[in-house]
Amino acid sequence: MDTYGTKSSKADYEVDLEAGGNLLYPGIGYGENQLRWGFIRKVYGILSAQILLTTLVSAIIVLYEPANQLLRGNSSLLLFLCILPFVLLWPLHVYQQKHPHNFIFLGLFTTSLSLTVGVSCAQTDGRIVLEALFLTSAVVLGLTGYTFWAAKKGHDFSFLGPILFTSLFIIILTGFMQMFFPLGSTSSAIIGGLSAIVFSGYVVYDTDNLIKRFTYDEYIWASVNLYLDILNLFLTILQMLRQAEN
């Protein structure tokens, strides 16, 4: 019997206990918790579609020799495809809450990046690509699980934002310097390791933002952030394994 004299079933208590056990972080209300879980599922659904599209496009470029030769043999086209994702980020950000424009630009953005990823995979031994894919999947799954667990325990990773941004800026600047002043293999290995750590940190940081800070209308931007984190981590690990093989 409850306070008002009505009988409460055992199933009611089990539902309440289950809801409380699935709270994303301390202090969040039950209704907000349910909405946030729905938002998280939506973002990961979009992210899964992006990863699947990247996998399919990359596989086509690797296995279909004419497409591979077209991209590798045309430096102007490859340069255009490298610049295109940065150009598409602007309309993607502007129209992120306008359907269907947001999904159209998201598809173009993902496809353009997938083409460059496919070229990188085509220039690498298949065994190394599979190793990089396995390592990236293990790291991302582990860091994602850790971030959800840490958020549930009350930990916050918002302090990582300025640190990661500064580290990423230094890595990009170093990459430009390498174009004019090539570094040795040891320096390249160190930079590759630091890049992997930075992008791993971004996985934690953006997952924490997904849990706590992204608004419900920012599902496109949240998926883009996580997609870029995973993609950059994969390319960094791929480059490190390729250098180790050489």
Q: Where are the alpha helices (DSSP H) in the chain?
A: 10-21, 30-63, 65-73, 75-94, 101-122, 126-152, 160-180, 185-212, 219-245
In the prediction, which pLDDT does 155 show? 93
User: Of 204 and 215, which is predicted with more confidence?
Assistant: 204
Instruction: Please determine, for residue 229, whether its predicted confidence score (pLDDT) is greater than 70.
Output: yes
6 vs 147, which has greater pLDDT? 147
Neighbouring CB atoms inside 10 A of 149's CB total 10
Residue 195 corresponds to which tokens in the numbers above? 């890049």
- Average pLDDT score over residue span 24-33: 88
Which tens digits make up the pLDDT trace of 144-153?
999 999 999 9
- Cα(175)–Cα(172) distance, integer angstroms: 5
158 closest CA partner among 216, 201, 198, 195: 201
What's the Rg (C-alpha) of the chain?
21
- What's the pTM value of the predicted model, to 2 decimals? 0.86
Higher pLDDT, 126 or 222: 222
* pLDDT above 50 (res 20): no
Residue 230 clears pLDDT 90, i.e. is over it: yes
Burial (Cβ within 10 Å: 0-12, 13-18, ≥19) of residue 115: buried
- Note the pLDDT of residue 21: 54
Residue 12: predicted pLDDT: 42
Find the largest Cα–Cα distance for the chain: 80
Q: For residue 202, is pLDDT > 50?
A: yes
Q: Is the pLDDT of residue 139 over 70?
A: yes
Within 10 angstroms of residue 24's Cβ, the number of other Cβ atoms is 17
99 CB contacts (<8 Å, ≥6 apart)?
A: none
The residue among 224, 231, 226, 227 whose CA lies nearest residue 102 is: 224
Other Cβ atoms closer than 10 A to 224: 24
Section 172-200 average pLDDT:
82
Say yes or no to pLDDT of 220 above 80: yes
- Hey, is 5 helix, strand or coil? coil
Is the separation of the CB atoms in 239 and 192 below 8 Å? yes
Burial 64-88 (b: 16+ CB within 10 A, else e): eeebbeebeeeeeebeebeebbeeb
17 pLDDT above the threshold of 60:
no
What per-residue confidence (pLDDT) applies to 14?
Answer: 38
Question: Which band of pLDDT confidence, cut at 50, 70 and 90, is reported for residue 39?
Answer: very high
As a residue count, the chain comes to: 246
**122: exposed, middle or buried (Cβ count in 10 Å: 0-12, 13-18, 19+):** buried
Say if CB 170 and CB 109 are below 8 A apart. no
d(CA 139, CA 134): 9
Residue type at 150 in one-letter notation: A
- Return d(Cα 79, Cα 134) in angstroms, integer: 28
